[in-house]
Amino acid sequence: MYNIYMSKTSLNIIVIGAGASGLMAAGIAAGQGAAVRLIEKTPVYGRKLSMTGNGRCNITNTTPISEFSRHYHSSSRFLRHALHSFTNLDCINFFEGLGRGTTPERFSFHEEDNGRVLPVNSNGHEISVALAKWAVSCGVKIIPNISVTKLLVDNNMIKGVEAVDSDKNVLQMQGDSVIIATGGKSYPKTGSTGDGYELAKSVGHSIIPLRPALVPIETQGDLTKRLQGVSLPQVMVTLWINNLKSMTKIGDLIFTHYGVSGPLILNLSRFIVDALRTQSDVTISIDLFPNLDHPQIQREFSSYITIHKKQLFNNLLINYLPKKMIQVCCEELNISGDKMLNQLSAKELKRLRLWLKSLTLKVSGYRTFDEAMITAGGVDTDEVDPKTMQSKIVKGLYFAGEALDIDAETGGFNLQAAFSTGWLAGKSCTLRSLPLKIPQRDSSL
Ligand SMILES: Cc1cc2nc3c(=O)[nH]c(=O)nc-3n(C[C@H](O)[C@H](O)[C@H](O)COP(=O)(O)OP(=O)(O)OC[C@H]3O[C@@H](n4cnc5c(N)ncnc54)[C@H](O)[C@@H]3O)c2cc1C
């Protein structure tokens, strides 16, 4: 065992994890004059950040910051101070101020559906590289391929960390403050394997049980397999728990070989996972036409059939379903696609109407952390000061990002939480009030 990277300045900060929150925390702390080492266990930084938003990086949302709390499932009160300290507008300004690399070009962002904020003509990889470059320009020393395995604590004060390098050498690093920014347990191939929970637990923190969140859902039967790849925009799903209506949500859904996914299902999954964990009976019903009620659909059928009596059932379905769904629909309703429309019975038309308005699937399970976008549960936020992100148990220990018990809907709310908590932890751990080195947009560009 040996000591490395001992800084000679008076304030040594160690940040564990070079993801979204860790890069932000490290840059802000270094910008305040601290000597900051950012320890990353993989060879690359910001791997998950690069993948976000299907590689396009949905950094935040345009929802007014005062309404952000509605989009977090846990710890929304806890987050309030962090979100107001580094808001969604601060976030956009911050990234607009970052250089894109070799050219003087800057990032610009625009709003897409549901308030999602994404870069124009850029992607998560470029954002990730720019964030790391900014951190390094603030003075952060990024140290890859080292995994922190232990927190060094004396008398409830943080003293540093113990880590192993890729050759399995054990290293000790001393620090006045340590920020745990190790992320959650989801998509472990990105390096987020839940280490922060073990580190926090080892010094007395409680961990709220970990569950996959924003995760695809498995359903019984082979219907979804037969519909695999079909996506349905803006459908309404009703969630039934123990035969009681729990909630409805509108959004985009996609059928998979094991069940259903897409933003709508991911957002509902938080409630489905928790219901399944209590052995509840869970079903979902899909309304393919939330803007049409039953009498309207019935009237539409009647007028179409009156005009096109000699057409086939398939022709009627083309008006309502994607091509791949038509054959499956006929099989499910046990009606031949070649049946003449004027030969359809009222009962058959009713069966079609019910299928379109409430296609019901029994939920059998959910995918693992490997496919979950985030982790629900984590370090209990009751044990962390919301104004500083400092542990209430160990002085000098801070938390940022998904390691905390924070999880939100899709739409940029998870990254905003990572950036806001990272910003606040980085600022408060230095306990200094030097001006922050936040990049400013150059108006001449
Ligand atoms: C596919 C996908 C798409 C997503 N899309 C979006 C989106 O568009 N918008 C949005 O808001 N959110 C999105 N998210 C969620 C978002 O990416 C996370 O909430 C966010 O990255 C969390 O940031 P973090 O800094 O807490 O953790 P991470 O970004 O996971 O970073 C943690 C880092 O810590 C390192 N680490 C872990 N343990 C150790 C250790 N012991 N020692 C040293 N280093 C360690 C890891 O290697 C990793 O680099 C998405 C997630 C996924 C998986």
CA dist 76 and 416 (Å) reads 13
Q: What pLDDT was estimated at residue 105?
A: 77
Query: In this prediction, what percent of the chain has a pLDDT beyond 70?
Result: 93
Sorted by sequence, the CB contacts under 8 Å of residue 151 that are 6+ apart come out as 158, 161, 162, 178, 199, 202, 203, 394, 397
* Residue 440 resides in a domain: no
Residue 168: alpha-carbon gap to chain centroid: 32
**How does pLDDT run across 259-290, given as a tens digit for each residue?**
999 999 999 999 999 999 999 999 999 999 99
Q: What pLDDT was estimated at residue 249?
A: 97
Do residues 111 and 117 touch, judged by C-beta distance below 8 A? Answer: yes
Domain boundary among 341, 367, 393: 367
Looking at the structure, do residues 106 and 30 belong to the same domain, yes or no?
yes
User: Does the beta carbon of 186 sit less than 6 angstroms from any atom of ligand 1?
Assistant: yes
pLDDT higher at 246 or 101:
246
CA dist 208 and 186 (Å) reads 15
Do residues 154 and 160 touch, judged by C-beta distance below 8 A? Answer: no
Closest alpha carbon to 4 in 150, 143, 156: 143
Instruction: Tell me how far the alpha carbon of residue 49 lies from the centroid of ligand 1, in angstroms.
Output: 6
Q: What total of structural domains would you count in the chain? A: 2
Query: What would the two tokens of residue 422 be?
Result: 């990272």
Looking at the structure, do residues 275 and 388 belong to the same domain, yes or no?
no
Report residue 436's pLDDT band, with 50, 70 and 90 as the boundaries: very low
User: Does the beta carbon of 71 sit less than 6 angstroms from any atom of ligand 1?
Assistant: no
Phi, psi of 435 (to 5 degrees): -60, 140
**How does pLDDT run across 217-233, given as a tens digit for each residue?**
999 999 999 999 999 99
Alpha carbon nearest to ligand 1 atom 20, residue: 415
Report residue 101's pLDDT band, with 50, 70 and 90 as the boundaries: low
CA dist 124 and 137 (Å) reads 20
* Residue 443 resides in a domain: no
Report residue 431's pLDDT band, with 50, 70 and 90 as the boundaries: confident
Alpha carbon nearest to ligand 1 atom 27, residue: 183
Range of the domain at 182: 2-212+376-429
Looking at the structure, do residues 110 and 150 belong to the same domain, yes or no?
yes
Q: What pLDDT was estimated at residue 440?
A: 54
Q: Quickly list DSSP for 154-177.
A: ETTEEEEEEEEETT--EEEEE-SE
Q: Is the pLDDT of residue 413 over 50?
A: yes
pTM, 2 dp: 0.92
Q: What pLDDT was estimated at residue 359?
A: 98
* Residue 265 resides in a domain: yes
Instruction: Tell me how far the alpha carbon of residue 53 lies from the centroid of ligand 1, in angstroms.
Output: 12
CA dist 1 and 142 (Å) reads 21
Sorted by sequence, the CB contacts under 8 Å of residue 99 that are 6+ apart come out as 105, 106, 130, 133, 134, 439
* Residue 445 resides in a domain: no
Instruction: Tell me how far the alpha carbon of residue 418 lies from the centroid of ligand 1, in angstroms.
Output: 9
Q: What pLDDT was estimated at residue 102?
A: 56
Side-chain half-sphere CA neighbours of 326 within 13 A = 15
* Residue 436 resides in a domain: no
**Residue 421 one-letter amino acid:** T
Q: What pLDDT was estimated at residue 158?
A: 97
Q: What is the CA radius of gyration of the chain?
A: 26
Domain boundary among 336, 367, 398: 367
Q: Is the pLDDT of residue 174 over 90?
A: yes
Give me the residue label for tokens 């040996």.
2
**How does pLDDT run across 77-91, given as a tens digit for each residue?**
999 999 999 999 999
| 3-state secondary structure at position 256 | coil
Phi, psi of 303 (to 5 degrees): -70, -35
Q: Is the pLDDT of residue 57 over 80?
A: yes
CA dist 187 and 373 (Å) reads 7
Q: Is the pLDDT of residue 181 over 70?
A: yes
Give the mean pLDDT of the chain.
93
Looking at the structure, do residues 204 and 266 belong to the same domain, yes or no?
no
Q: Is the pLDDT of residue 4 over 50?
A: no
Query: What would the two tokens of residue 408 be?
Result: 């939100």
Q: What pLDDT was estimated at residue 434?
A: 42
Q: What pLDDT was estimated at residue 8?
A: 44
Looking at the structure, do residues 124 and 25 belong to the same domain, yes or no?
yes
Buried b vs exposed e over 374-389: b needs ≥16 C-beta within 10 Å? bbbbbbbbebbbbebb
Do residues 210 and 377 touch, judged by C-beta distance below 8 A? Answer: yes
Q: What pLDDT was estimated at residue 424?
A: 98
* Angle, alpha carbons 207-182-198 (nearest 5°): 40
Quick one: average pLDDT of 155-168? Answer: 96
**How does pLDDT run across 109-149, given as a tens digit for each residue?**
999 999 999 999 899 999 999 999 999 999 999 999 999 99
User: Does the beta carbon of 52 sit less than 6 angstroms from any atom of ligand 1?
Assistant: yes
**Residue 35 one-letter amino acid:** A
- Which of 16, 147, 182 to mutate to test ligand 1, by most ligand atoms within 8 A of the CB atom? 182
Q: How far is CA 158 from CA 7, 32, 99, 202, in A?
A: 16, 20, 35, 13
Looking at the structure, do residues 405 and 355 belong to the same domain, yes or no?
no
- Which of 15, 68, 414, 416 to mutate to test ligand 1, by most ligand atoms within 8 A of the CB atom? 414
Quick one: average pLDDT of 400-404? Answer: 98
* Residue 437 resides in a domain: no
Strands 259-261 and 72-74: unpaired
Q: How far is CA 268 from CA 237, 247, 263, in A?
A: 9, 9, 9
Q: What pLDDT was estimated at residue 234?
A: 97
Quick one: average pLDDT of 419-443? Answer: 72
Sorted by sequence, the CB contacts under 8 Å of residue 300 that are 6+ apart come out as 292
Looking at the structure, do residues 147 and 175 belong to the same domain, yes or no?
yes
Query: In this prediction, what percent of the chain has a pLDDT beyond 90?
Result: 91
Looking at the structure, do residues 344 and 264 belong to the same domain, yes or no?
yes
* Residue 61 resides in a domain: yes
Strands 72-74 and 407-408: antiparallel
Q: At what angle do helices 88-96 and 124-137 cross, to 10 degrees?
A: 80
CATH of residue 71's domain is 3.50.50.60
Q: Is the pLDDT of residue 215 over 90?
A: yes
Strands 141-143 and 35-39: parallel
CA dist 343 and 45 (Å) reads 64
Q: At what angle do helices 20-31 and 413-429 cross, to 10 degrees?
A: 30
Q: Is the pLDDT of residue 390 over 80?
A: yes
